[in-house]
Structures are given as structure tokens and as C-alpha cells.
Chain A
């Protein structure tokens, strides 16, 4: 009997020991998984997608990385990837963490679209300046006109942290007049068309900051989703609309308080008849009416939201396959929407609320902010293209007749055009990943031929003219760490403004001329 009890104890102890070991192992494993998840969200998620589905950078999930060598993945994490935004994590993360991350991305499936409801947005609202009436009544720095301000999204090499800022420059003196830290990389900067003191900065991780340009500080912020660049401001400056890739939601905010007023589930029947949930493409306000237009990327629809009680939606279907960005024509009455997969730009009449024409574009059109300029009485629109098929062109359309005028051969893929009524050239950024990425090409407005190629250095992109059209600003990108300024007629370099990994450049003049290249008069037409 004694032995039996002893044996029983022994069995019991052994059992407990096994249980302890087992739960220890389980918690170690789940601890690792949690740590890997956190590492991913803190270092990779803002570019590669919080859902592992990709965003600015490729998807990192079990499916996408199937068959990839673990060593090669670790090497890329360690040393970064040349001529991309991918920075080196050697010395920033430990070898063990890099190994853990490599394993994590190879075994994690693309996560389901996470929820981010209006309550979550409300809870994320942060107030940095409680009493806005105490803010200075005028800019705290010398500047002739607030339209001379140019905002630059300085991403910071790691897309987050102390290097990530929205930087503001006086485009007459080319001096930096302010910088606003954004925690994660700034992506889009919009300006309030009515009150020149407010700007809105949207980050890679879908926070929107309301920025006081007079004192150069953020006064409020709200998280509108997990990522997606879409943001627009209404013509009366009262509303902001923002759309996300993750989750498939758009929201209208009060531009003053940033409080969310209504959310929209982005889904619909695509041109091939499938009901799909959809990323948000461009979101745009127009001086033409109290509306927002939003492109549903995957559903191929453009929705028009009236800024009145209940925010009713008119849906325009079958616009194109995989819509992305867009620009307004003169008067802001028509919207030119890029459709990636069928290589067209679709013209939408915002008054009649219908698709009026599909115009040929190059392959994978990406119009950026677009450009439209009056040449010899015709209003010409310019469209850039990501893709590099057999020919790389910039498409030029007559925006009154809605027809293709010419496809101008350029040296590579392009993603953003800039024009100005007072500047002789339309600038496009060549983004093909070799020496060409250093360059900007300039198309003569009259001859519609490339007149000159500027070697900016780095990875040159996002050209933008100053509000008076005298200067051309270009980001030298992640490999250049400067914004370079040229005289827009002589094309001589006049200034360099150092900053970390500059990307999008946004002139406050845009609120005046609406689409880059149009004169302010075009808004009254």
C-alpha cells in the first residue's frame, strides 16, 4: 500500500512536471509568435501592410513567399534592398529578431481585413492643442503669401520614428519654415481651400493630422484606418473624406474637429459582375460642387457623396478595372480616373454623374495629382503611367473634346506629372529602376516633345511647381535625401533642401488652381 501511494505520487509528480514543461513550451511558442507579430507591426506593417497583404511594398505572407530562401529573406531584412524604400535593419534589430521575423513572414497567411469602426476612430482622436483660439493670428515666420508654401512628405528612411515629418518650405526663398513630426511616414498633404492656416497630413498608417501652418504644429489627429492614401477636402473647407486599403472603409470627418461623421463600407459589383469588397482609391473634393468623389479600386466604381444630411451616395458603375488616382478638369466638373488593368483613363461628368468616355492611356496609368494646362486655346490633360510595356508614353488629352491628342514617348515608366500656367514644360518623373530613376523629363507644352532630361540624382520623383510657377521642386527620394529646386525656364539648379527620404511634394497653390497647370481663372469657368 505504501509503495502504491509512493508510486501514485511519483506518477502524479511526473504528470505535473510534464504538464509544466508542456505549458512552458506552449507559452514560449506563443510568446515568440506574439513577439514576432509585434516586431512585424512595429517595423514592417506600415509599408508591407498590417494584414501582410502589401501596400507601398510587396506582400509578406506564406503564399507570397512560398519557396523563397530563408537566408535570402534574412539578408534583405539585414542590408535592405537597393533602389527601393527598404532600409537595412542590421544593428537596429538583433540577429535573433531578424531570424524570428523571417520565419514569421514565411508562415503567416494574409490576415483577414481587420475592423476599424467609427467607434475605434473616435477613440483614436488626439487633441494636442486644446484651445485653438490661443494660436497666433498670423504666420510666425516671414512669408509673402501662404500659397507660396510647399509641403514635403519626408518619409524618414524607416518610414517611422524621428525621421518622419511633414516639412514646409517657402517656395520663394527655398527655406524650410516648419516641420511637423508624424510618427509614421507622411504620405499626402492637403490644404484647406478656405482658411489658409490649416493643412491635413495623412500618414502611411492612415492617421490624419490637422496642422496649424501659422505655428507649424499638429493640433489634432485621428486614425482613420490601417493604410491607404485617399484623402480629400471639400470646397467649403468643412469636411475631409478619407479612404483606406485596410480595412475597406471610407469616412467623412469634420475638418475642424476631425470627428468622424459617417463611414462607408466600400463594396460593389465589379465590371466583370463579381461582388467585391474594395480598396479606396483617390478621394477628391471639387470647387464645382459640395461633393466628394471616391474611386473604389477593385469594384471599379466611382461614388459621389453629397455633403448634405445623411451624406447620400450616387454610384457610377463599370468605370474600369482597378481604378486608382484621378484629377479634375477645368471648372472641376469632370474627373479623369486612371484604371490600371485596362490601361484607360475614364472621364466622369460630376454634374450628370455618369461615365462619358474611356480614353486610351499608356500601360498601367497612374496619373498622380494629374496635370492640365491651356495651350493655344486648348486645355490639355497629361497622364503618366507606371507600367513599362513595349512603349513608355505620357498621354495628352484634349479635355474639352475628350479625345487623345498625342502619346509622347518618354524614357521609362512615370508616376506624377507637374505643370503650371507660367512654366514652359510639363515635368514627369521617370521611375524605371536603373539610372533613369535619377531623372525627370520635361515635355515642351507647345511641341509635346521631350525637350530636356534633368539628372536630379537619387530616386527623383514627385515634381511640383511653386505657386507662381517660377520654380520646379523635385524630390531626390530615398537615395538622394534632398529636395532639389530648378528655375522652371532656364532649368538651372537654384537650391537644395536636405531632408530624409523626401517623397510627395504638395504646393498650397493647388487649392487655387485645383489641378496643377490650370490658372486660377479655370476654376471660375
Chain B
């Protein structure tokens, strides 16, 4: 009985740890392909495109900017729409992906 309680506690601990695991650049890459890459590219925007670089930029800056766009504290009709559907987790993953690229 004691053993199984321990097992249960360990199980809960593992689950909790799972919930706070670090942002995943792999999940971020998939999300970026679906949400961001059309304009910003998977690595960099197209040579002829007018969109800003994301690859290799500071993760804190990217995270702040995306959250502001999502929460409409920074205004851009296009970006407010696109970021509007992102969760905190998505933002962490996406910014982990782009910031980890070599500029």
C-alpha cells in the first residue's frame, strides 16, 4: 500500500513536470510552418519580401512582441489576427524555434 502511494506521488510529480517542460523548438517548427512561414519564411523571409527577419533574434523580444500582438497591446491588423489564435505555449515553442536559428 505504501509502495503504491509512492508510485502515485511519483506519477503525479512526473505529470506536473510534464506540464512545465521547456518550450519545444520542434513543436515550434511545425507551428511556424503553419502560421508564420508564409510571410517570414522557415529561416528568413524571401529576398523580395517586405517582412522582418525572425531567425536568430532574441527570444525574449520575439516572445514579448508576439504576446503584444496577440493581446492587441501592439497594433497591426495582420499580426493581431494571426497571433490572436496562439496560446502561451505556441508562442514559447515558435519563439524557441526562430531564436535558435543561426541568423
* Residues of A that sit less than 8 Å from B by CB: 79-80, 82, 87-88, 90-92, 156-158, 160-163, 457-458, 479-482, 498, 500-501
CA distance A38 to B78 in the complex (A): 27
Of the residues A80, A82, A90, A163, contact of B48 by C-beta under 8 Å: A163
CA distance A163 to B48 in the complex (A): 7
Q: Are A92 and B33 in contact (CB under 8 A)?
A: no
Q: Are A163 and B33 in contact (CB under 8 A)?
A: no
B48's nearest neighbour on chain A, judged by CB, is A161
Q: Are A162 and B37 in contact (CB under 8 A)?
A: no
B49 at the interface (CB under 8 A from A): yes
CA distance A157 to B78 in the complex (A): 19
Q: Are A500 and B33 in contact (CB under 8 A)?
A: no
Chain B 32-56 per-residue mask, 1 if CB under 8 angstroms from chain A, else 0: 0110011101110011111100000
Q: What are 8 A-B pairs with beta-carbon distances under 8 A?
A: A87-B49, A90-B78, A92-B48, A158-B48, A161-B47, A458-B42, A500-B41, A500-B47
Of the residues A79, A158, A479, contact of B46 by C-beta under 8 Å: A158
Give min CB distance, B90 to chain A, whole Å.
17
CA distance A156 to B34 in the complex (A): 19
Q: Are A91 and B33 in contact (CB under 8 A)?
A: no
Residues from chain B with Cβ under 8 Å of A482 in the complex: 42-43
Q: Are A87 and B46 in contact (CB under 8 A)?
A: yes
B50's nearest neighbour on chain A, judged by CB, is A91
Residues from chain A with Cβ under 8 Å of B50 in the complex: 91-92
Given contacts A79-B38, A80-B38, A90-B78, contact A481 B47 (CB under 8 A): no
Given contacts A90-B78, A458-B42, A481-B42, contact A157 B48 (CB under 8 A): yes
Chain B 43-82 per-residue mask, 1 if CB under 8 angstroms from chain A, else 0: 1001111110000000000000000000000000010000
Q: Are B46 and A480 in contact (CB under 8 A)?
A: no
CA distance A438 to B8 in the complex (A): 41
Give min CB distance, B82 to chain A, whole Å.
9
Given contacts A87-B49, A161-B48, A498-B43, contact A82 B78 (CB under 8 A): no
Q: Are A500 and B46 in contact (CB under 8 A)?
A: yes
Residues from chain A with Cβ under 8 Å of B41 in the complex: 157, 481, 500
Give min CB distance, A156 to chain B, whole Å.
6
Residues from chain A with Cβ under 8 Å of B43 in the complex: 481-482, 498
Q: Are A156 and B51 in contact (CB under 8 A)?
A: no
**Given A157-B49, A158-B46, list of 19 further CB < 8 A pairs?**
A80-B38, A82-B34, A87-B46, A87-B49, A88-B49, A90-B39, A90-B78, A156-B46, A156-B48, A157-B48, A158-B49, A163-B48, A458-B33, A458-B42, A480-B42, A482-B42, A482-B43, A500-B46, A500-B47
Given contacts A457-B33, A481-B43, contact A162 B51 (CB under 8 A): no
CA distance A479 to B51 in the complex (A): 16
Q: Are A157 and B46 in contact (CB under 8 A)?
A: yes
Residues from chain B with Cβ under 8 Å of A158 in the complex: 46, 48-49
Of the residues B38, B39, B46, B78, contact of A163 by C-beta under 8 Å: B46
B38's nearest neighbour on chain A, judged by CB, is A80
A88's nearest neighbour on chain B, judged by CB, is B39
CA distance A479 to B35 in the complex (A): 11
CA distance A79 to B38 in the complex (A): 8
Residues from chain B with Cβ under 8 Å of A162 in the complex: 47-48
Residues from chain B with Cβ under 8 Å of A82 in the complex: 34, 38
CA distance A80 to B78 in the complex (A): 12
CA distance A91 to B46 in the complex (A): 13
CA distance A308 to B43 in the complex (A): 51
Give min CB distance, A421 to chain B, whole Å.
34
